[in-house]
Every structure is written in structure tokens, then in C-alpha cells.
Structure 1
Amino acid sequence: MLLVLMAVGMSASLVVASVAPLEKKREEDRFFALLEQDIHYAQSQSYSLSTSVILVFRDHKPGYEVMYGVTRAGYARPMPESITLNASSNLREVYFTPNGSIRQPGTMRFSTSSGERTVTVHLGKGRVVVSK
């Protein structure tokens, strides 16, 4: 009886250990999907409200904030602990002008548990590409 209980306990611990990295990957994928949606929402808000909307990654906060204009705070989103914005990124904010176009194009590089992911913001109408 004790042998069976030990075998069940060991197999259960193996299942839990194999699910943890998968859950971390899913959490990271959800973050990047939400980031992409927030960027598109910020662009639509800048156009509909006729004001600049800025999505900002700050050094001292793990996450990003959406600002309406330069002074009015919108909302903030936390970033999972397994994701960090690399110092090699040439973009730390996505700035939409009042007509919905992008102010500065560039690439944000993120370190994740499964490697590097990039978010590229193109000049012009602000098309955004999130790498997989």
C-alpha cells in the first residue's frame, strides 16, 4: 500500500513539474496578446479623441502605462516576472499623434523564458507586428 502511494505521489509531482513551464509560456503569450490589443486601442483612442496617446514602459516599474496627452494617466498593466524589456530596445514608448499615426517607429525587444520576442512599430499608420 505504501509503495502504491509513493508511486502515485511521484507521478503527480512529475506532472506538476512538467506543467509549470507550459503555464509560464501561456502567461507570456497572454501578455503579448494584451500588449498588441492595447497598442491598437491606444491608436483608435488617439484618433477618436483627437489627442496624443502614449504607451510607456518605465525603468522602475515592471509593466507599462497608457497616457492620454502628456499629463493625463489612463491605465497601467503589469508585466509577468519572466518578461523584461531589453536595454538594446530602441523604443521605450509607442506614441500616437492625434490623427492616429505613429510619432517614432522602432523595435522593442523583450527577454522571455523561451527566448527573445520583439514588438515592431512601423512608421506611418502605426502597424504593429509582435513576433512569436
Structure 2
Amino acid sequence: MEMLLVLMAVGISASLVVASAASLERKREEDRFFALLEQDIHYAQSQSYSLGTSVVVVFRVAKPGYEVVYGLTRPGYARAMPESIRLNASSNLREVYFMANGSIHQPGTMRFSTSSGERTVTVHLGKGRVVVSK
């Protein structure tokens, strides 16, 4: 009987550890996504300047993720978004558009729902400063 109680206590403790590890891994995956998004936005800006063409980082409604497009027609690459992240309908931007001189075309904010709350990506007018909230 005592052995059964000990075994049950160990089982409950192990399940709590697994549940907390899963939420921690989800948070890490989300953090990695936003770090990569920020790097891709900066890279798109540098590419627009060095290639002398527009470069757009665009979020499509049909696909959970984003694509980088050169000159509005030449596809670059696409990245998937983790299932725990969604671009909110309240966002006033669905793309970060850099003109050929590296400046931003339209300022605004993208709002994302994550497992730990809302995160934003703010694009400022002018030379294209982009801020990703933590």
C-alpha cells in the first residue's frame, strides 16, 4: 500500500514537471521566432539598400508565417510561424515594405497573440527603425 502511494506521488510530480517543461519550450520557440523575424526585417532593409530594389516582409492571411519578396515579384524565402502565435486582426500592418533606399514605405504596428500575451512589432517612419516588444 505504501509503495502504491509513493509511486502515485512520483507519477504526479513527473507529470507536473513535463507540463511546465512544455510551456517553457513553447515560450522559447516564440522568443526564437521573434528574434528571427527581427533579424529578417533588418536583413530585408540592408538588401533593399544594397540591391537598389524594394524588399517586402509580408504576412499572408492564408499562410501562418511570412515571406520575403524582392522587387514585389521575385520571391525570396518563407518562414513558418509557431502554432501558438497569431497575427491579430487589430494590426494596422501586414507587411514591412522597404523602398530601394532602405527607408520604410508605411509605418505602423503588427500585433501578435502568443501563449504569454500580446507582442508587437512597431515600424517607425523614416529610416525604418523596427522595435520588437519583449
TM-score (norm 2): 0.94
- Cα distance, 1:2 vs structure 2: 4.2
Q: Are 1:66 and 2:64 counterparts?
A: no
Q: C-alpha separation between the residues in 2 aligned to 1:116 and 1:3?
A: 42
Q: Are 1:76 and 2:78 counterparts?
A: yes
Q: C-alpha separation between the residues in 2 aligned to 1:51 and 1:94?
A: 14
- Cα distance, 1:113 vs structure 2: 1.0
Unaligned runs of 5+ in 1: none
TM-score (norm 1): 0.95
Q: C-alpha separation between the residues in 2 aligned to 1:62 and 1:110?
A: 12
- Cα distance, 1:115 vs structure 2: 1.0
Q: C-alpha separation between the residues in 1 aligned to 2:4 and 2:115?
A: 38
Unaligned runs of 5+ in 2: none
Q: Structure 1, residues 56-75: CA drift from partner, whole Å, max 9, x if none?
A: 00000000000011111000
- 1:1-132 to structure 2, matched below 5 A, reads 1-132=3-134
Q: What secondary structure, in the 3-state scheme, does the structure 1 residue paired with 2:91 have?
A: coil
Q: What secondary structure, in the 3-state scheme, does the structure 1 residue paired with 2:106 have?
A: coil
Q: Structure 1, residues 39-84: CA drift from partner, whole Å, max 9, x if none?
A: 0000001111111100000000000000011111000000011111
Q: Structure 1, residues 76-123: CA drift from partner, whole Å, max 9, x if none?
A: 000011111111111100000111000111100111111111100001
* Cα RMSD, aligned residues only: 1.1
Q: C-alpha separation between the residues in 2 aligned to 1:91 and 1:118?
A: 11
